[in-house]
Amino acid sequence: MNPIRSIQGMSDLLPPESARWQAVESCARGHFHSFNYSEIRTPLLEFTELFVRGIGTDTGVVQKEMYTFDDKGGDSVTLRPEGTASVVRAYIQHNLAHADAITKLYYLGPMFRYERPQKGRLRQFHQLGCELLGTKSALADVEVISLLDGLIRKVGVTDFTLEINSLGCMDSESCRPAYLKQVTAFFTDKAAGLCAECNRRLTTNPLRILDCKNPTCKEVAATAPVMLEFLCADCGPHFETVKQGLETLGVSFVVNERIVRGLDYYDKTAFEVLSNNLGSQNAFAGGGRYNKLVESMGGPATPAVGFAIGLERLLMLVPEKFGSAASRKIYLAPLGAKAHPVALKIARDIRAKNLVCEMELDDKSLKSQLRRADKLQCTHVVIVGDSEIEKGVAVVKDFAAKTQSEVPLGQVPDFLAGV
Ligand code: HAM
């Protein structure tokens, strides 16, 4: 019979890699808490309409990449392709604004996008993200971006570039509306050089042309007018304050006027974090400000800003040794049936000291047990055989110190906790 394999683009996370993930996740949780963020967990499955309305009908994610199906009740549901829309839904549904003017939430979990799998691009991937809702202050953008920069550095990644841009707003006619007019005229002029989809986008969502992956469209887009030249009296100073705040904190960035982001909800600040060590999928985090999303989803007008890191991509950059600080790992080696009840209790008491203890469960010779302890990279071996039980002791071997001592049975856990 053919064994069943996992679905393409959906990976198992196996040891020892899972330990590295846990180290990054726990570092991230600590980092978020230091900025006073709390965790939110939303369902993996939501009504399709949430993402269509939240992310935008004319985005690649909504058009091509969603895992959408009708459930048994006939409702169209979708596996979440990102976290922001769900967080906003929960924020509105549970009236989170009620508790405080500012709501700071972080999340961590799997997202689903039906993309062509390749290095760093999966169909089930994981995001670590946060959303700060309730203020239009540019200082919030500064805080969120500096949080991201600090987190990346905390997990040992230093070789990356933070790129920022402003996408303006729709509130002032002279801001994005004026830009859209210009950019539409520009692309209409060059329509013959654009792909069929971009020709359609000319009428639906011309900004998306700037994000098209088609090489000829990219070439045309390279000389298109840029949003930064159109920023209004609100967006211009906002962007300046963000840049100044980042400079004050010593957060390095470059302004990339070509950033448009692949989701439709952004206005004002948009940013991405890139690395040259990832291959073609070189952005491992992205985010920005979204002042209209909460309102457009039926909530009160609430400006917000946030980001998400792609964990698979981040983990490709995190140093191999991150989080693997040498800690004590004990191998308990019972020899013979008489030793089993003694060993069971010693193992229980060692674990109660929060030490890692692997107890041998099969009948094995001392030689093969020592070999296994070595393979499992244990730091100590506790040997309990007939002669030891008679004497009321265990033999404790310390691999690193290359020492061996006889320790009274009742004192083994304390001895190991103290060494
Ligand atoms: P995004 O740029 O679509 O933004 O995704 C954020 C990150 O998720 C990307 O930078 C990338 O590292 C990772 N990612 C996306 N798709 C894949 C994939 N198929 N395989 C592996 N990794 C992937 C958002 O999702 C926004 N919700 C971020 C945000 C939060 N904006 C405001 N708040």
214 C-alpha to center of ligand 1: Å? 20
Instruction: Give, using CA atoms, the residue closest to atom 31 of ligand 1.
Output: 287
Ligand 1 contacts CB of residue 127 (under 6 A): yes
Q: Are 329 and 354 in contact (CB under 8 A)?
A: no
Q: Which positions ≥6 away from 100 have C-beta within 8 Å?
A: 134
Q: Are 167 and 267 in contact (CB under 8 A)?
A: yes
pLDDT at residue number 275: 97
Ligand 1 contacts CB of residue 284 (under 6 A): yes
One pLDDT digit (tens) per residue for the chain, 419 residues: 999 999 999 999 999 899 999 999 999 999 999 999 999 999 999 999 999 999 999 899 999 999 999 999 999 999 999 999 999 999 999 999 999 999 999 999 999 999 999 999 999 999 999 999 999 999 999 999 999 999 999 999 999 999 999 999 999 999 999 999 999 999 999 999 999 999 999 998 898 899 888 899 999 999 999 999 999 999 999 999 999 999 999 999 999 999 999 999 999 999 999 999 998 889 999 999 999 999 999 999 999 999 999 999 999 999 998 987 667 899 999 999 999 999 999 999 999 998 999 999 999 999 999 999 999 999 999 999 999 999 999 999 999 899 999 999 999 999 999 87
355 DSSP 8-state letter: -
409 C-alpha to center of ligand 1: Å? 54
Ligand 1 contacts CB of residue 81 (under 6 A): no
Q: Ligand 1 pocket test: pick from 24, 313, 318 the residue with the most ligand atoms within 8 Å of its Cβ.
A: 313
Looking at the DSSP bridge assignments, the partners of residue 129 are 107, 308
Pairing state between β 380-384 and 329-334 = parallel
141 C-alpha to center of ligand 1: Å? 18
CA distances from 115 to 42, 60, 64, 125 (A): 23, 10, 8, 11
Ligand 1 contacts CB of residue 122 (under 6 A): yes
Q: Are 272 and 310 in contact (CB under 8 A)?
A: no
Cα torsion 212, 217, 223, 224 to 10°: value is -60
Closest approach atom of ligand 1 to CA 131 = 33
Closest approach atom of ligand 1 to CA 284 = 12
Ligand 1 contacts CB of residue 65 (under 6 A): no
Total-model pTM = 0.92
Ligand 1 contacts CB of residue 82 (under 6 A): yes
Instruction: Give, using CA atoms, the residue closest to atom 13 of ligand 1.
Output: 310
pLDDT at residue number 352: 92
Ligand 1 contacts CB of residue 143 (under 6 A): no
User: What is the chain's Cα-based Rg?
Assistant: 28
CA 257, 259, 262: angle at the middle one, nearest 5?
160
In sequence order, what DSSP letters do the residues of 115-176 get, joined into one string? Answer: ---BTTB-SEEEEEEEEEES---HHHHHHHHHHHHHHHHHTT----EEEEEE---SSSTTTH
40 C-alpha to center of ligand 1: Å? 17
308 C-alpha to center of ligand 1: Å? 6
Instruction: Give, using CA atoms, the residue closest to atom 30 of ligand 1.
Output: 307
pLDDT at residue number 280: 85
Closest approach atom of ligand 1 to CA 263 = 3
Instruction: Give, using CA atoms, the residue closest to atom 15 of ligand 1.
Output: 310
262 C-alpha to center of ligand 1: Å? 9
Ligand 1 contacts CB of residue 115 (under 6 A): yes
